[in-house]
Amino acid sequence: EAGVAQSPRYKIIEKRQSVAFWCNPISGHATLYWYQQILGQGPKLLIQFQNNGVVDDSQLPKDRFSAERLKGVDSTLKIQPAKLEDSAVYLCASSLMFTVHEQYFGPGTRLTVT
């Protein structure tokens, strides 16, 4: 069974630039999560989708972050414009509906903002 795919794996940008991350969840997983993990901290949920609808985006900095899951499968997370404090690993995870504890994580994208 293929796992959660993310790209790119690494990205270095300058502050005020834009960046986008892509996630392809495990086939059949209705729920998709984006997490931000700053060095030395646990993952922080940014946004949670159930199919193509947003369940929770309370911790998403909406002035600069946006995410979409138009067809209920792949998802993109965008940062525009980036700040130094956005440097982190961005993890995508997916799960079957109502089995949030069985999340499968992708390899993550390490973003460095200089």
Partner 1 sequence: EDKVVQSPLSLVVHEGDTVTLNCSYEVTNFRSLLWYKQEKKAPTFLFMLTSSGIEKKSGRLSSILDKKELFSILNITATQTGDSAVYLCAVETNRDDKIIFGKGTRLHILP
The CB-of-52 to partner 1 minimum distance in angstroms stands at 16
The CB-of-70 to partner 1 minimum distance in angstroms stands at 21
Question: d(Cα 1, Cα 95) in Å, to the nearest integer?
Answer: 14
Question: d(Cα 7, Cα 76) in Å, to the nearest integer?
Answer: 10
Cβ closest to partner 1, residue 55 vs residue 84: 55
Binding part of the chain for partner 1, among 17-25, 42-50, 65-73, 79-87 by CB under 8 A, reads 42-50
The CB-of-42 to partner 1 minimum distance in angstroms stands at 3
Per CB under 8 A, does 45 bind partner 1? yes
Per CB under 8 A, does 55 bind partner 1? yes
Per CB under 8 A, does 89 bind partner 1? yes
Residue of 24, 48, 75, 94 interacting with partner 1 (CB under 8 A): 48
- DSSP assignment of the chain, as one string? ----EEE-SEEEE-TT--EEEEEE--TT--EEEEEEE-TTS--EEEEEEETTEEEE-TTS-TTTEEEE-TTSS-EEEEESS--GGG-EEEEEEEE-TT-GGG-EE---EEEEE-
For residue 36, the number of C-alpha atoms closer than 13 Å in the C-beta half-sphere is: 18
Per CB under 8 A, does 101 bind partner 1? yes
Instruction: Summarize as ranges the residues that interact with partner 1 (CB under 8 A).
Output: 4, 31, 40-45, 48, 55-56, 89, 91, 98, 100-103, 105-108, 110
